[in-house]
A and B are shown apart, each in its own frame.
Chain A
Amino acid sequence: MIEALQQTGFQRVRVCNFFNSFSGTTKEGVARKYGVQGANFIAYRAA
């Protein structure tokens, strides 16, 4: 995701926060197996 955003032209791309979005769902085991979690991203277009 970060590389794709940078290749598009966005700058200062970063992941800011992580979330256990699948905790307690029926996909919790799959999420844990593949390291799937929610995350916040920020990216800027140069002025």
Chain B
Amino acid sequence: MSIACPVSLDREKLKSEVRATYARVAENPQGEFHFHRGPEYAARLLGYDLAELNALPPLATAPFAGVGNPFMMDALPPGGTIVDIGSGAGMDCLLAARRVGSEGRVVGIDMTDAMLARARRGAAEANLPQVRFDKADMTSLPLDSGTVDVVISNGVINLAPEKDKVFNELFRVVKPGGRLQFADIIVGTELSEEVRNNIDLWTG
């Protein structure tokens, strides 16, 4: 069910396309895209609580483009350290910050400047100082080994051409006894080489 990156795919071009696509989402969440965005979508198709989302700054919620709901599986530990891989405009980080409380810590990781800027403004507006956002590639996280209780992510790992490197990095930062709880896409059929080389399908 996983998507392996074809040898012939230009990985730098793929990363550049991903950055460009999500920069456009950050700048104009109501624009035309091949995927849903926003809190109404999150509530209607992914099981988020719309009232909880409406209490967050629209700066954080409008560009949300996840594919599942990482909060469904288990409660986040109060006071814990949470990392969101591909945090985008920060909606899931703000929800996580409310769950871990003021003694907890939430780190959002993203590689798109426009998303990071939006996320930082949203966290300030929500008055959640336990959240910070760092610019980084998900294969090289600015975090010490064994320091994270829970890694969350929502529709981002599928965009990485080197998933083995991503998973190794996640294993490094998670504490023994810690966990990943993330949402992503799965593919139910074996994809042809032609489809796997189509960057438009990778970037959504």
Binding site for B on A (CB under 8 A): 1-5, 7-10, 15-17, 19-27, 30, 34-47
Contact = CB atoms under 8 A, between A and B. Distances in A.
Nearest to B35: A25
Contacts of B171: 8-10, 45
Interface of B: 1-2, 34-36, 45-47, 66-70, 72-74, 155, 157, 163-164, 167-168, 170-171, 174-189, 191, 195, 201, 204
Task: Give the one of A38, A39, A44 with max B CB within 10 A.
Answer: A38
Question: Which residue among A1, A10, A17, A26 has the maximum number of chain B CB atoms within 10 Å of its CB?
Answer: A1
B195 A43 contact: no
Instruction: Classify the secondary structure of A's interface with B.
Output: mixed
Contact of B46 (A16, A21, A27, A42): A21
Most buried by B among A4, A25, A41, A47: A41
